[in-house]
Structure 1
Amino acid sequence: MRILLTGCNGQVGFLLKKKLEGKCELLALTRESLDITDEPKINLTVAEFKPQVIINAAAYTAVDKAESEKELAFEINATGPKLLAKAASSVNASIIHISTDYVFEGNKSGTYSETDHVNPQGVYGESKLAGEIAVRENCEKHIILRTAWVFGEHGNNFVKTMLRLGQERESLGIVGDQFGGPTYAGDIADAIVEIIYQIEDKRFDSWGSYHYSGYPYASWYEFAEQIFVKAKGKGLLESIPKLNKIQTEDYPTPAARPKNSKLECSKVKLQLGIEPSDWLKALEKICEYE
């Protein structure tokens, strides 16, 4: 199996590269080695390597900054996926594309399924939705994997921010009215590897969009509580800071955050046999997150 991976220095891409190395013919590319908005470079790379699967783990993820960098966000999150999907189709390859909970408005009660109405509330979500549409329109053999609240050992994320602030401050205000499924980047990588194994079977026809995130659902406040409990237990903190539950309105940001990011993950379990991410178990590795 020949696999082309973009964004191999990101949270998910970094772990995907580690998991795929030695198991396939892998071309893992950083932002510097492949600009996914450069159509001639993409076409040349794909024509020469002839991948059977393209995994797009590259993305513009600066949610707040996107409000003032709309053009750049759309280039990376919409134009890039479109060019990769077209290139994949040209060599009869499939594409696996990572998307986000931000495509939803975030005010539904209950969980969001793959067929729910999309209505992003900011530039980041709009650009990611445009990327989804482009992938669907330009490569029939596609898997779009929507995820949320990603954390892991590599890159910047909520867990690392909490560990740093926990050492610097005696008390912290944490948003308690936004809910979602924290998702370990290594579990996303494992899910994608499993999908690749299934794609190898020529009879595979379960193309489409899937939700994959963590369980149990939690608020940012509850997520932070567990992070500090694990960190204290592992000796990373002498004491746990006092946590104060605040509302979204108490922490204004340039981009609106979904109040509800709970993704329904039954489809990926039923059709592909992939269980949701166990984020509580993943936090056992918290010593490696520094």
Structure 2
Amino acid sequence: MSQRTVHLIGASGQLGTALRATAPAGVVAAPYTSDDIDLIRRLSVRDALAGLRSGDVVVNAAAYTAVDDAETDWDLAFRVNAHGPALLAEATAAAGARLVHLSTDYVFSAPPGWTVPLEPGDLDPEAEPESIYGASKLAGERAARAADPSSTVVRTAWVYTGGPDSPDFVGTMRRLEAGRPEISVVDDQRGSPTYVSDLARGLWELVGHVGAPGDITAGADLHATGAGEATWFQLAQAVFAGLGADPGRVLPCTTDQFPRPAPRPAFSVLSGRSWAQAGLTPLRDWREALTEALESR
């Protein structure tokens, strides 16, 4: 049998770019940008993946991620985040390939006062995410699994690249450190900061497990985030400290003091137990990863 191909959907996005940069030697990777495949059009998905073969892997790193905009642009959010994964899963099911679909901590809505890292089984079958974005991503998980029960869902959280021009949280904190004497950052939302390069390397390890002896990832829900937890305030302080700036310039505030169109989970720390139980290497502590991200850029 000829070597399988790993099809990277969303290849020009944050995670797709990291996946291309960290691809192991010898891997046959086929990148797809939005110019190559339109996830809301069945014919586009069918034509783009016409060469999909048994044993291939499709990694779906494409998504509608404008969390606040989704509150009003819900139709497009659901078409990309729910209908798109279903079309990809239909293609993998027909070809005998495997879909690895990226999802988010925002599918959870932990009860007030919850402090235990969330396991895949903590997602209530009748879960109602707090935001339209979260609801669209949960719908995508379920649509993919309905179309191809072997699909692997990987939930991650608080993903950043961390470059000075990056639009993510860490990149934004870098720019604010250079431009403001003080900043206020929310201190009552807690999650799992995840360096995108670490996530990409973890996904390549997962791809290597697909179809191997003892593989238990088919049909599994897995969590892949940086180890440990933090609030946005703590993460911002760590960015300032990593840049050699005074972390005391970062001031804590509450969610109510910094309102946004879309509600955010107060607690969405994801447990890495499912990832480790699948035989995969846990992602490193978020502070260690942040240090590398700041030094490498």
Same fold by TM (over 0.5)? Answer: yes
Greater Cα shift, 48-57 or 210-219: 48-57
In structure 1, the residue corresponding to 2:50 is in which secondary structure?
helix
Distance 1:92 1:54 in 2: 11
Distance 1:35 1:222 in 2: 38
Matched ranges for 1:191-202 at <5 A: 191-201=202-212
**Please, what TM-score do these two structures have when normalized by structure 1?**
0.93
**Residues 170 and 241 of structure 1 are in contact (CA less than 8 Å); yes or no, is this contact kept in structure 2?**
no
2:128 alignment partner in structure 1: 119
1:16 alignment partner in structure 2: 19
Deviations 1:172-228 (A, max 9, x none): 001111111101111111111111111141552332101111222111111111111
Distance 1:258 1:156 in 2: 21
Cα drift, residue 164 of structure 1: 0.5
- 1:265 matched to 2:269? The reply is no
1:211 alignment partner in structure 2: 223
**Please, what TM-score do these two structures have when normalized by structure 2?**
0.90
Unaligned regions of 5+ residues in structure 1, if any? none
Cα drift, residue 276 of structure 1: 3.1
2:256 alignment partner in structure 1: 249
Number of residues of Structure 1 aligned to a counterpart in Structure 2 = 284
Distance 2:170 2:162 in 1: 9
- 1:27 matched to 2:30? The reply is yes
Distance 1:241 1:165 in 2: 14
Unaligned regions of 5+ residues in structure 2, if any? none
**Residues 153 and 288 of structure 1 are in contact (CA less than 8 Å); yes or no, is this contact kept in structure 2?**
no
Q: Indicate which of 39, 44, 48 corresponds to 2:42.
A: 39
Letter in 1 for 2:242: K
**Residues 60 and 76 of structure 1 are in contact (CA less than 8 Å); yes or no, is this contact kept in structure 2?**
yes
Runs (4 or more) in structure 1 with deviation over 3 Å come to: none
Distance 1:225 1:167 in 2: 14
**Residues 6 and 58 of structure 1 are in contact (CA less than 8 Å); yes or no, is this contact kept in structure 2?**
yes
Matched ranges for 1:119-198 at <5 A: 119-153=128-162, 155-198=166-209
2:290 alignment partner in structure 1: 283
Distance 2:110 2:263 in 1: 10
Letter in 2 for 1:47: A
Letter in 2 for 1:209: D
- 1:68 matched to 2:79? The reply is no
**Residues 184 and 277 of structure 1 are in contact (CA less than 8 Å); yes or no, is this contact kept in structure 2?**
no
Q: Percent identity?
A: 32
